[in-house]
Amino acid sequence: MPNQAMSDRLAGVGASPGRAAGPVYRKAEPPTFDSLTPQQRELDAPVTAEQAIAALCAVSDDLAHRSASARNRGRGVAADVLRTQSMIAADSTLANDVTARIAAGRDGSEAIAEAIERYKELLTTHGGYLAERAADLDDIRHRALAYALELPQPGVPDPGRPFILVADDLFPSDTALLDPTSVIALVTRRGGPTSHTAILAKSLGIPAVVGCAGALDLADGAVVSVDGSTGQVRRVSAKQAARIQDHARLARERLAATTGPGRTRDGHPVPLLLNIGSAADVQGVDQLEGVGLFRTEFLYLGRSDTPSATDQEQAYHEVFAAVGPRKVVLRTLDAGADKPLPFLSMPDEANPALGVRGIRVTRNRPELLTSQLEAVAAAAKARDADVWVMAPMVTTRAEAEAFATQVHAAGLDMAGVMIEVPAAALQAHRILEVVDFLSIGTNDLSQYTLAADRTNAELADLLDHWQPALLQLIGACAAAGTAAGKPVGVCGEAASDPVLALVLVGLGITTLSMSPPSVAAVRASLARHTLDQCRHLADLALAARDAAEARATVAASTAAES
Amino acid sequence: MISREVTIGSRIGLHGRPAAAVVDLAAGLPVPVHITMNGRTADARSIISVLALGARGGDVVTVHAEGDTAEGALDTVVALLARDLDAEPGDV
């Protein structure tokens, strides 16, 4: 039955991450006292005190039974929730309240509704977790009324094929016994990020969207996609739905297959790090070994003057607090004619990508770097954070040495440089004599190596990260790092390609830094290959005549292995 | 009647599993035990009253008991309340 009120997109709150798509089916809503017809009330009334208490006991028994089933299925979280709910239904305080109301002349079904409403209000006043638990009391009321009035128990539909469960709200008794192979996602009109729907969806590993205002406008059988990260619910075709399900299944398999620190199949550690621009980007860092690229430009954007020492320190403080005891590699201000900042009042340049940018800005404005390093050092000291600092656009050993001296003088132990300029890559062994680590920015390194403007879409083939010349330079840096016993990481896009990541590790790269969505695939890819296999793939890539051949040869080899 | 103060050890407070554990324990004791916080008193055998206290981790509550075995009953309830029940893995 088409529903005209349904728009193509609904928005809610993402409560359990992941994507799924399929037909929706709505939960059978419970019979509430208010929803009964006058005849029903007439026929079934009065409910005596004995019947009311018996109904509550029946609900308690039923919930205890569901709790035991959930525990047998390994659903400990759900089992705990159901057990508490079962105890509430059997609570003598509640039973006494119901009995007293009936003695005062109320009908049994009204007495149950009123007594439960009273405790619900009590819990709601506490807010947060307890207010969310108030929904459990509604469930007890619905179930007790259904028992007392001898009506069917509310419940989850069984359409006989995988479906997305839609409801006004879901209760533990609904969700605890859900089979995640038949229910592929949850969408509720009510509920917040700590509701049962959210908690249980996470424990089942299925996506959920809560607080979705239009959820009940979805007709049974309508095909939608659910994004549990963004909270988007969207109408899709059956074909699109099938594709989303395929993607989701692959993603789940990869995720399920590997967790924990980045490492190859034979246990060679390859720390996986995050690229961030501010504290707001620090997501899921507890699954990672730290931050590999903290861009600090956000502090300077849209300003007509230099940010104060306090402002800078505060911003670094927030990031270090979010990252906790893990390592943070901070890149000092990367600006110039190609990334103009008003307060720098840089003159226009004919060829800005090759002009005064990155560390070169300090030629005329040394105080920018001095004040930034002071603020970083103060924040690092306050948080006891593991902070590494690196400079962008370094070209020569002399620039690297001057920078490292300044970093160490500020009281920071780890000074490194970005490798983005081919000259620096070729001289990596010399630069490593004066710095503690290198981090390769593959986006700029390919732009400069291939002499192709990275913003020009027509030249995308030249900017391919599989270009053998680029891989050769990365290999030279990694070899220099191995010889010096110092870390050499990659923090550009190349690190987020799960196949290219293997080549990078084979070349001798020690860490990979990327944006959060790429991590799971890279981690899983590493876990499937030994370090020797990675080295073999690196040899294949370096021996290729061009980028396409490198990509194809390596892909064929990885496919043959697995 | 004797009473004792205790700081709630469970980080999320007396919710869910921690609350159920307290009620389970109290139901098996030979004397009634009550918990008071902010002027509200809960029968420790009633889950709904315990939840309605809204006690959070770090809150201080007073536990009361009466009778011959009150001392022992207080000891066991106070010990349980002080523990971090969230941190203990369930039998999953």
Which residues does chain B have within 8 Å of residue A80's beta carbon, measured at their own beta carbons? Answer: 16-17, 20, 90
Does residue A229 lie in a domain region? Answer: yes
Residue A336: partners with Cβ closer than 8 Å, 6 or more residues away: A346, A352, A355, A356, A357, A358, A360, A361, A393
Q: Would the pLDDT of A290 be above 50?
A: yes
Please report whether residue B17 resides in a domain. yes
What value, to the nearest 5°, has the Cα angle with vertex A157 and ends A155 and A159?
170
Domain count, chain A: 3
% of chain A exceeding 90 in pLDDT: 44
Same-domain pairing of A18 and A115:
no
Q: What ipTM, to 2 d.p.?
A: 0.89
The residue of B37, B51, B86 whose CB has the most chain A CBs within 10 angstroms, and thus the best one to mutate to test that interface, is B51
- Residue at A560: amino acid letter: A
Write the residue in A74, A81, A119 that is nearest to B52 by C-beta. Answer: A119
Residues A136 and A206 in one domain: no
Q: Picking from A3-17, A202-216, A261-275, which range would have the lowest pLDDT averaged per residue? A: A3-17
Measure the CA dihedral A518/A473/A295/A16, to 10°.
Answer: 0
Q: Give the Cα-Cα-Cα angle A116, A118, A120 (nearest 5 degrees).
A: 70
Report pLDDT for A134: 78
Strands of A175-289 (E only): list them. 183-188, 208-210, 223-227, 232-235, 272-276
Q: Are A301 and A350 in a shared domain? A: yes
One domain, residues A399 and A484: yes
Among A210, A232, A255, which residue terminates a domain?
Answer: A255
Q: In the annotation, is B34 catalytic? A: no
Q: Is the peptide bond before A162 cis (omega within 30 degrees of 0)?
A: no
Is residue B91 domain-resident?
Answer: no
The CATH number for B44's domain is 3.30.1340.10
What secondary structure does DSSP assign to A56-67, as a single string?
A: HHHHHHHHHHHH
Query: Is-contact A370 A407, C-beta < 8 A?
Result: no
Which pLDDT does position A348 carry in this prediction? 76
Residues A412 and A439 occupy one common structural domain:
yes
**pLDDT value at position B90?**
37
Please indicate whether residue A463 or residue A368 has the higher confidence score (pLDDT). Answer: A368
Is residue A261, in this structure, part of any structural domain at all? no
Of A18 and A309, the structure prediction assigns the larger pLDDT to A309
Q: Tell me the residues of A at the B interface, defined by beta carbons under 8 Å apart.
A: 71, 74-77, 79-81, 83-84, 87-88, 91-94, 119, 122-123, 125-126, 129-130, 133
For range A111-131, the mean pLDDT:
84
For A327, counting Cβ atoms within 10 Å of its Cβ (0-12 exposed, 13-18 middle, 19+ buried), the class is: middle
Work out the percent of chain A whose per-residue pLDDT is above 70.
86
Say what the alpha-carbon torsion angle A299, A300, A302, A306 is, to the nearest 10 degrees: 120
Q: Quick one: pLDDT band at residue A292, thresholds 50, 70, 90?
A: very high
Average pLDDT taken over every residue of chain B: 86
* Amino acid symbol at A365: R
pLDDT at residue A146 is higher than 80: yes
Show the domain range for B61.
2-82
Check whether residue A97 and residue A112 sit in a common domain. yes
What gap in Å lies between CA A257 and CA A405, rounded to an integer? 44
- Across the interface, of A74, A75, A91, the residue whose CB is closest to B47 is A91
pLDDT in tens, B24-77: 999 999 999 999 998 889 999 999 999 989 888 889 999 999 888 899 999 999
The answer to whether residue A93 sits within a structural domain is yes
User: A495-523 in b/e burial notation, b at 16+ Cβ within 10 A?
Assistant: bbbbbbbbbbbbbbbbbbbbebebbbbbb
In a domain, B88, yes or no: no
Whether A349 is in a domain gets the answer: yes
Q: Please indicate whether, in this complex, the C-beta atoms of A87 and B52 are within 8 angstroms of each other.
A: no
Q: Is residue A1 part of a domain?
A: no
Q: Which structure tokens are listed for A247?
A: 């993607």
Mark whether A37 and A24 lie in a shared domain: no
- CB contacts < 8 Å between A and B, how many? 58
Total-model pTM: 0.52
Across chain A, what does the average pLDDT equal? Answer: 85
Please name every residue paired with B21 in a beta bridge, in sequence order, or none if there are none.
Answer: none
Classify each residue of B13-38 as buried b or exposed e, where b means 16 or more C-beta atoms within 10 Å of its C-beta. bbbbbbbbbbbebbeebeeebbbebe
When divided into structural domains, chain B yields a total of: 1
In a domain, A228, yes or no: yes
- The CA distance from A295 to B14, in Å, is 43
B18-29: per-residue pLDDT in tens?
899 999 999 999
Task: Calculate how close chain A gets to B20, using CA atoms only, in Å.
Answer: 6
For the beta carbon of residue A11, count every other beta carbon within 10 angstroms: 15
Taking the CA atoms of chain B, what radius of gyration do you get in angstroms?
12
The answer to whether position A3 is within a domain reads: no
Q: A6-10, A222-226, A372-376, A498-502: which has the minimum mean pLDDT?
A: A6-10
Residue A104, SS3? Answer: coil
Helices (H), A149-265: 172-175, 196-204, 238-257
In DSSP terms, which residues pair with B12 in a beta bridge? Answer: none
The answer to whether residue B53 is domain-embedded is yes
The secondary element (H helix, E strand) that includes residue A13 is strand A13-16
Looking up residue A105, the CATH number of its domain turns out to be 1.10.274.10
Domain, as residue range, for A167 = 9-28+155-255
Residues A191 and A107 in one domain: no
Single-letter residue type at B39: G
Q: The tokens of A47 are what?
A: 């409910």
At A108, the amino acid letter reads G
Q: How many CA atoms within 13 Å lie on the side-chain side of A82? A: 25
- Catalytic member of B4, B12, B15, B20: B15
Predicted confidence at residue A157, as pLDDT, reads 78
Q: How confident is the model at residue A151 (pLDDT cuts 50, 70, 90)?
A: confident
